[in-house]
Amino acid sequence: MTLADSTPTQIAAAVQAAESAAPTWARSSGAERARLLRGLATALGGARDILVPLADRETGLGAARLSGEIDRTAFQLRGFADLVEGGAAFAHTDDAAVAGAPPVGHPYLQRVRVPLGPVAMFSASNFPFAFSVLGGDTASALAAGCPVVVKAHPGHAELSRAVMALAQKVVAEQGAPAGVLGMVEGAGIEVGVGLVQQPAVAAVAFTGSFRGGRALEQVALQRPRPIPFFGELGSINPVVPLPGALKANGTALAQGLAASIAMGCGQFCTSPGVVVLPTGAEGDAFVATLSQALAAQTPHAMLNAPIRAGFERGVQAWGQHAKLQPLLTERAAADAPPRPFLAQVSAADFIADEHLHEEVFGPAALVVRTRDLAQAAQVLQAIGGSLTVTLWGFEGATEPGAAEVELVRNATQIAGRVLFAGVPTGVAVTQGQQHGGPYPSSTAPASTSVGYAALDRFLRPVALQDPPAWLAQRAGVPV
């Protein structure tokens, strides 16, 4: 099933419905928002037997993975319900008046936050539940008091319609404003551009390709009234083991890394794409184990033909690169799942070629060989922006040396999440999460698209100076 492109009239109608719903939803209570979010979670879980086969038919991700993704999506809907019910969306600051002239004296100020308004939410291809119609962007926007207009992803067209029908039924049953959730559809770029250009759209949440995200960001910024664009655009997620980690646990780390590279056929935004290793025997042994373990992986089919074609173009370019030494180059037939790809390159050559810093979306990675930790830090600087950096070998309470500290500093400068154990695939939905790093991994590195701090993206601070008692007593709930 394919999505027919929504017409300009249909796009305008969806946004107008959201605009009509915005005032009512903005002044809704935490209990009202929580009830809707929990209702959506219950409805999603209750339709599992219908939705999972439908999603598997469109994505090929498998029933087990998709059922788990429903659980994750319902979990984050309920998590935002708990958050908003506890008053997080209405957090405010009361700054009592101080007598006297400025700068010591000042009037009474109450700093509150108001919802931005209708949010255009672009579904992702690789998570048909968790980053789609009722995914984290929708959950956080609704919790913040913003209506949502979903741009359905053509890669799971039938599923998107089914989930939206389910959601709109819950909205109607609860008596929430009908326009609080709407959807436009289609594969044409005109649909996305037309949605972002709608004057009533107040913000955009996007998860997808670098090229598509950058194009839509420019549309958002070139409007007569520019709006925030919260875009997650991809990442190469470097992994940097210290020499001690290679010596103590190299085999197990390499095997775990191979599984992470191939997990989900490499179609996770946190899939490891660069492995930074020292030259020498221990690094060589790690590369050998990683190559062997990665060759043994059996990735499933990719989400769709365009994504597969992009992967093949990427690994072909790497395979023909004069500075790369191929390690795994087996190519699969077009009608078979892809094979993992691995190559290695010197740090100097990697740093010098910005094209090697670009993501190849799929089960592929580059090994970058360095002479020391200082050069490893330079590799991180060259990458410039990543959702994650993984550093292995910092266990224990012993304070590291200057080179190790500098490596950690560089990791925190380029990444939204720095791991000191485990692998980057897998992003916990929790209060302390940060999923969004410096450009090019995201367009708004101060915000997150996963975790409960995502609520903050869709709220704007307002200072009320000497407000009347009735307004101050609302304690942050918008009028």
Q: Determine whether 232 is an active site residue.
A: yes
* Catalytic hit among 32, 269, 312, 359: 269
CA atoms of 147 and 157, how far apart (whole Å): 21
CA atoms of 47 and 134, how far apart (whole Å): 13
Q: Quick check: bond before 103 cis, omega within 30? A: yes
* Catalytic hit among 232, 265, 312, 359: 232
Question: What phi-psi label fits residue 269: left (phi over 0), alpha (psi between -120 and 50 degrees) or beta?
Answer: alpha
- DSSP designation for 131: T
Beta-strand ranges (E) seen in 371-465 are: 386-392, 415-419, 459-465
Tokens of 300: 């499933």
3-state secondary structure of 325: strand
3-state secondary structure of 152: coil
Tokens of 463: 């200072």
Q: Determine whether 185 is an active site residue.
A: no
- 412: closest CA among 430, 428, 394? 394
Residue 419 burial (CB count, 10 A): 18
The secondary structure of the chain in percent helix, strand, coil, rounded to multiples of 5, reads: 45, 15, 35
Active site residues: 232, 269
